[in-house]
A and B are shown apart, each in its own frame.
Chain A
Amino acid sequence: MMVQVFRVLVLPVLLYDCETWTPMGSSVSSMEIEVVDRTRAAYQTGRSRPLQFRLQQLRALRRLLSEHEATISAALKQDLNKSHFNAQLFELIGVETEIALALDKLSEWAAPRPVQKNLLSMLVDAYIQPEPLGVVLIIGAWNYPWALTLKPLVGAIAAGNAAVVKPSEITQHSANLLKELLPQYLDKELYPVVTGGASETQELLRQRFDHIFYTGSSAVGKLVMEAAARHLSPVTLELGGKSPCYVDKDCDLAVASRRITWGKFTNCGQTCIAPDYVLCEPAIQDRLLQEMQRTLQEFYGDDPRTSPDYGRIVSERHFDRLITLMDDCSVALGGQSDRSELYIAPTILRDVDPSCRLMQEEVFGPLLALVTVNGVDDAIRFMNDREKPLAIYVFSSSKKVIKKVLAETSSGGVTVNDVMMHYTLSSLPFGGVGQSGMGRYHGRHTYDQLSHLRACYVTSPALESFNKARYPPLSHGRLRKARCCLQTWLCSCARASILWVALSSILALGLLVALLVILFKDTSK
């Protein structure tokens, strides 16, 4: 009886937290655990796998974007002072392109991919079968909160995965809007949106995912990868760094300045692939400044603060950070700021010393440093002394200079004679290297990145005599046979099409012979 009393009255008090009545030692914020468990259960029903379902979800996502264009733009305006056009041009068109491509190509991407075989595997089906990975975690960024969160989501859906979407809490209006809208269009159990700050993200990262897709800073990228290591989850890290822009003396400075100015001050410099700083010879620095000043005037008018196309810094923390960066440099253009509006004028700094604060971290703001170098060799040395960036930009009319820079440096991507445009081609795999990231995405590359490319080899019990070469007892003769079978290459066709290839080759050859015969007969007449 005493045991019963103990069990009923005393034990609960010892084992449970009396204030909240949760089991002792359990995490209070287990919402993330529930969401992940629910998403996994939804994935395991298998409903994300049929192509029809994926296409339907992608179309629904497309409808979301077109039906809510105005509200999305409004949210972006509040978060980053993006104009309606900026929102379209730099966020939504990109996602639309990805959806259109996925809808068009999905059946091709998802189909088995035959591979090249050797003599031994001639009569087998050897192919790569893309499959979903499972549950993907997508952690979005704040500078392009829609593009950088939804583009990976498009690939994740296309690949047949479920996805937990965690938009950045820094752009709150966009995050809240995404949380409200996505469940209205997509399967809410397969693609839940989780909002919250650092602690919610950390809690999410404690859970097990089949892939983690993170866009943000290198510092946090390391933490994401460490967390992923505990579950052996593969990661895609789209990070940042200082993307250099080399301007050769031999180039059309007016055009170069326009393009650089555009790239730098779009979204107030808060772009991972914005040209972070410029390297040029001292002789052209003045001209460069002149052209940039002209361009800024053309783009944003006399007072950028009043231009609807000029953005704002996302938060006070980043504003303060940027103001500090300007401290020990010589401002050639701009420099004005207003904390109440989170406004910093388009600012260009000249003769910047490599040791100054501005050159120690990724700027991520409307401050363009001009660093003088003695020519292309000096510029290459300068770039190679630093971490591999996400992008390198080169402006030159000389093919030789361009080739040299490309051959002697490394980066995630390169655009020559323009900035950022390699991002717009979904056929180009986008991503970093070294500290600027790992993994690639855009277009089919997102699909492949978030798929498991499973090697399949389907043979038959027939032709067992071929296998004698490998069975013990091993001998010289058997070894020779094995060597022969393993090392001869044939075409990479599926079994059925080998026949078609053979037939059509014979037909083509026959026609060629007939043509030659006719021509020969004709000329000999």
Chain B
Amino acid sequence: MSQEQQVAERTRQAFLTGRTRPLKHRVSQLKALRRFIVEQQKDIAEALQKDLGKTEYGTQLYEMLGLEDEIKVALDHLAEWAAPRPVGKTLLTALDDVYIQPEPLGVVLIIGAWNYPWALTLQPLIGAIAAGNAVVVKPSEVCTHTAKVMEDLLPRYLDKELYPVVTGGASETQELLRQRFDHIFYTGSSAVGKLVMEAAARHLSPVTLELGGKSPCYVDKDCDLAVASRRITWGKFVNCGQTCIAPDYVLCEPGIQDRLLQEMRSCIKEFYTDDPKSFPDYGRIINQRHFQRVTALLEGSMVAIGGDSDESQCYIAPTVLRDVKPEAKVMQEEIFGPVLPILPVSGPDEAIRFINSREKPLVLYIFSSSNKVIKQMIAETSSGGVLANDCLVHYTVSALPFGGVGHSGMGRYHGKCTFDQLSNLRSCLIKTLSMEVVNKMRYPPHTAERLRWARVLLLTRVRLGRLRQLALFALLGVLAAFMYKRFIK
């Protein structure tokens, strides 16, 4: 038996003891996770500094704040999320108990990503714990220091049998994927996403795939270019462009390209000084392989800003390319680096055509002061999410379900969505053994009369809302009559 098989088996046994189910247990584990984040801040930040050149503040803002928020939301709402959810009834079931009961799925496999290793591995974990599952956590091996910290420290806070951390590379992940899980949550590339889903199919395990793609950013000529440039610059160069929802490329009319470049140049200077290389808030490319990949993408395109790099430090300057052609190398794959191509288009219609001729992205960005343009772009395109006049921040609203569509992914999470995604929403109908006479209409021998009854009982919906409204009006009427009699007469 391989190590991965043993871990999966042990986790399943731990789940079968039933100890993840009581809400108290889930709450205590979530609180422990919160303590972990707070107490191990230093080690976490150090690991991220070594892996991705993130500063302590960067770590807090882009990784930990989100996690703290998710834990808080889960703790505040767990009882509500886990409670039976009543649903509408028909006349036939008017006296029955009809509700959806959320239940744990069982053992969930979470495969994290390397760009935001804490956020993207622990956020699904929060929802999985809240939903009462056991979880095998597989952090990305690409961020080696972070994976080590997670493997060493997480078991000190969480139940180590219910939430084991498994580290390793491609072969360990493949071995894990051969085991049976009740749900697989994967964050990463579309190419590997297909393999994960294929592996999941063998066990009929449902999957959540948070993938990527080229997220377009359309900048309308009718918009506040200064503000737009700031927000795009921020969104693009956070974590050195290694963000699944970073604006991948910009589409704008040729007339505003120069102004855009000018504004971005000054924003880059403001954010990262004249020498981003020596500035602590500017990150690094994760490793040599990605460094080489990203620098190769520059080939054939005109560099307007930046362009310099240093392989020994995996440093690539904040780079903006102008007048990029659709056939350019940089437009053939998700960049995932600090290179922003600008492609000229003749207006929103051509931008829409361009976007629609490619795979549906994880997010679409639109910068415009015109509601008409924003509405048109939203109506005529598709993407996981859409953000008008800003970048990245839709990710922070935990009530907004986050995820892709088509090649950018399937499934949703954040907040209650994670809980629902990692639960079995079981439909429950509780009847009594009385009122058997009502059932006559469904029993053979069938007659036209019985069928007529069946139709009425099945098709009439009991509008509780309407009844409540009527009752309220009646009450108000009585109250008004009482008031009139008592005080006015």
Which A residues are within 8 Å of any B CB, using their own CB? 83, 85-86, 88-89, 93, 96-97, 100-101, 115-118, 120-121, 126, 128-129, 131, 133-134, 210, 218, 221-223, 225-226, 228-230, 232, 234, 237, 239, 251-252, 255-256, 258-259, 262, 298-301, 307-310, 395, 397, 402, 406, 408, 410-418, 421-422, 424-425, 427-430, 433-435, 437-440, 452-461, 464, 467, 470-476, 478-479, 482-483, 486-487, 492, 518, 522
Which of chain B's residues have a CB closer than 8 A to the CB of A97? 458-459
Which of chain B's residues have a CB closer than 8 A to the CB of A89? 442, 446, 451, 454
A269 to B92, CA, bound (A): 24
Q: Is the CB of A471 within 8 A of B458?
A: no
Which of chain B's residues have a CB closer than 8 A to the CB of A218? 204
Q: Is the CB of A459 within 8 A of B390?
A: yes
Q: Which residue of A lies closest to B408 (CB)?
A: A232
Which of chain A's residues have a CB closer than 8 A to the CB of B455? 93
Q: Is the CB of A486 within 8 A of B65?
A: yes
Q: Is the CB of A435 within 8 A of B93?
A: no
Give residues 411-440 of B contacting A (CB, 8 Å). 411-412, 424-433, 436, 439
Q: Is the CB of B447 within 8 A of A418?
A: no
Q: Is B387 part of the contact surface with A, judged by Cβ < 8 Å? A: yes
Which of chain B's residues have a CB closer than 8 A to the CB of A116? 399
Given contacts A97-B458, A232-B197, contact A421 B429 (CB under 8 A): yes
The answer, among A120, A134, A410, A458, for a CB contact under 8 Å with B389, is A458
Q: Is the CB of B374 within 8 A of A458?
A: yes
A307 to B446, CA, bound (A): 10
Can you list 17 pairs linking A and B with CB atoms under 8 Å apart?
A225-B200, A228-B201, A229-B200, A252-B433, A262-B442, A299-B444, A300-B444, A307-B445, A414-B429, A437-B204, A440-B425, A455-B384, A467-B230, A478-B57, A479-B65, A482-B61, A483-B65
Q: Is the CB of B445 within 8 A of A309?
A: yes
Which of chain A's residues have a CB closer than 8 A to the CB of B450? 85
A221 to B450, CA, bound (A): 37
A461 to B402, CA, bound (A): 23
A229 to B61, CA, bound (A): 35
Smallest CB–CB gap between A95 and chain B, Å? 12
- With A85-B448, A232-B410, A425-B98 given, name 5 new contacts (CB 8 A): A93-B454, A120-B393, A415-B428, A425-B88, A473-B279
Q: Is B55 part of the contact surface with A, judged by Cβ < 8 Å? A: yes
A88, A414, A427, A476, most chain B CB atoms within 10 A: A427
Q: Is B177 part of the contact surface with A, judged by Cβ < 8 Å? A: no
Contact-residue bracket for chain B: 35 or more
Q: Is the CB of B194 within 8 A of A428?
A: no
Given contacts A118-B396, A416-B429, A457-B387, contact A210 B87 (CB under 8 A): no
The answer, among A262, A435, A478, for a CB contact under 8 Å with B443, is A262
Smallest CB–CB gap between A156 and chain B, Å? 16
Q: Is the CB of A417 within 8 A of B389?
A: no
Which of chain A's residues have a CB closer than 8 A to the CB of B89? 425, 427
Q: Is the CB of A237 within 8 A of B399?
A: no
The answer, among A222, A435, A471, for a CB contact under 8 Å with B271, is A471
The answer, among A121, A256, A453, A476, for a CB contact under 8 Å with B397, is A121
Q: Is the CB of A461 within 8 A of B224?
A: yes
Q: Is the CB of A461 within 8 A of B227?
A: yes
The answer, among B93, B198, B204, for a CB contact under 8 Å with A434, is B204
Given contacts A414-B428, A428-B87, A435-B204, contact A126 B58 (CB under 8 A): no
Interface of B is mostly: mixed
A358 to B21, CA, bound (A): 33
Q: Is the CB of A397 within 8 A of B433?
A: yes
Q: Is the CB of A479 within 8 A of B61?
A: yes
Across the A-B interface, the 4 shortest Cβ-Cβ residue pairs: A85-B446, A474-B57, A225-B201, A229-B197
A471 to B228, CA, bound (A): 14
Q: Is B4 part of the contact surface with A, judged by Cβ < 8 Å? A: no
Q: Which residue of A lies closest to B57 (CB)?
A: A474
Q: Is the CB of A232 within 8 A of B389?
A: no
A134 to B74, CA, bound (A): 34
Q: Is the CB of A131 within 8 A of B198?
A: no
Which of chain A's residues have a CB closer than 8 A to the CB of B382? 131, 452, 454
Q: Is the CB of A232 within 8 A of B194?
A: yes
Which of chain B's residues have a CB closer than 8 A to the CB of A434? 106, 182, 204
Smallest CB–CB gap between A291 and chain B, Å? 13
A429 to B90, CA, bound (A): 15
Q: Is B388 part of the contact surface with A, judged by Cβ < 8 Å? A: yes
Given contacts A93-B454, A483-B65, contact A472 B100 (CB under 8 A): no
Q: Which residue of B lies closest to A125 (CB)?
A: B388
Q: Is the CB of A457 within 8 A of B204?
A: no
Which of chain A's residues have a CB closer than 8 A to the CB of B223? 461
Q: Is the CB of A410 within 8 A of B443?
A: no
A518 to B41, CA, bound (A): 59
The answer, among B383, B388, B461, for a CB contact under 8 Å with A458, is B388
Given contacts A428-B427, A430-B427, A479-B60, contact A518 B487 (CB under 8 A): yes
Q: Which residue of B lies closest to A417 (CB)?
A: B431
A83 to B89, CA, bound (A): 28
Which of chain A's residues have a CB closer than 8 A to the CB of B410? 232, 234
Q: Is the CB of B384 within 8 A of A482?
A: no
Smallest CB–CB gap between B188 and chain A, Å? 13
A226 to B227, CA, bound (A): 46
Q: Is the CB of B384 within 8 A of A454?
A: yes
Q: Is the CB of A455 within 8 A of B385?
A: yes
Which of chain A's residues have a CB closer than 8 A to the CB of B439? 258-259, 262, 418
Which of chain A's residues have a CB closer than 8 A to the CB of B144? none
A406 to B97, CA, bound (A): 13
Q: Which residue of B lies closest to A492 (CB)?
A: B399
Q: Is the CB of A412 within 8 A of B426?
A: yes
Q: Which residue of B lies closest to A435 (CB)?
A: B204
Q: Is the CB of A232 within 8 A of B101?
A: no
Smallest CB–CB gap between B73 and chain A, Å? 8
Q: Is the CB of B271 within 8 A of A86?
A: no
Q: Is the CB of B281 within 8 A of A415?
A: no
Q: Which residue of A lies closest to B69 (CB)?
A: A487
Which of chain A's residues have a CB closer than 8 A to the CB of B425? 429, 440
A453 to B384, CA, bound (A): 8
Smallest CB–CB gap between A434 and chain B, Å? 7
A230 to B199, CA, bound (A): 11
Give residues 186-230 of B contacting A (CB, 8 Å). 190, 193-195, 197-198, 200-202, 204, 206, 209, 211, 223-224, 227-228, 230
Q: Is B50 part of the contact surface with A, judged by Cβ < 8 Å? A: no
Q: Is the CB of B204 within 8 A of A461?
A: no
Q: Is the CB of A457 within 8 A of B431?
A: no
Which of chain A's residues have a CB closer than 8 A to the CB of B61? 470, 474, 479, 482
Q: Is the CB of A121 within 8 A of B426?
A: no
Q: Is the CB of B230 within 8 A of A464?
A: yes
Which of chain A's residues have a CB closer than 8 A to the CB of B88? 425, 427
Which of chain B's residues have a CB closer than 8 A to the CB of A467? 230-231, 234, 390
Which of chain B's residues have a CB closer than 8 A to the CB of A483? 65
The answer, among A252, A440, A455, for a CB contact under 8 Å with B394, is A455
The answer, among A101, A229, A472, A478, for a CB contact under 8 Å with B194, is A229
Q: Is the CB of B444 within 8 A of A307?
A: yes
A487 to B230, CA, bound (A): 24
Give residues 445-476 of B contacting A (CB, 8 Å). 445-448, 450-451, 454-455, 458-459, 461
Q: Is the CB of A457 within 8 A of B394?
A: yes
Smallest CB–CB gap between B386 and chain A, Å? 5
Smallest CB–CB gap between B37 and chain A, Å? 13
Q: Is the CB of A225 within 8 A of B204?
A: yes
Smallest CB–CB gap between A27 and chain B, Å? 22
A429 to B425, CA, bound (A): 8
A47 to B270, CA, bound (A): 48
Q: Which residue of A lies closest to B73 (CB)?
A: A489
Give residues 293-324 of B contacting A (CB, 8 Å). none
Q: Is B34 part of the contact surface with A, judged by Cβ < 8 Å? A: no
Which of chain B's residues have a CB closer than 8 A to the CB of A251? 433
The answer, among B58, B228, B393, B448, for a CB contact under 8 Å with A461, is B228
A428 to B425, CA, bound (A): 10
Q: Is B261 part of the contact surface with A, judged by Cβ < 8 Å? A: no
Which of chain B's residues have a CB closer than 8 A to the CB of A486? 65-66, 69, 396
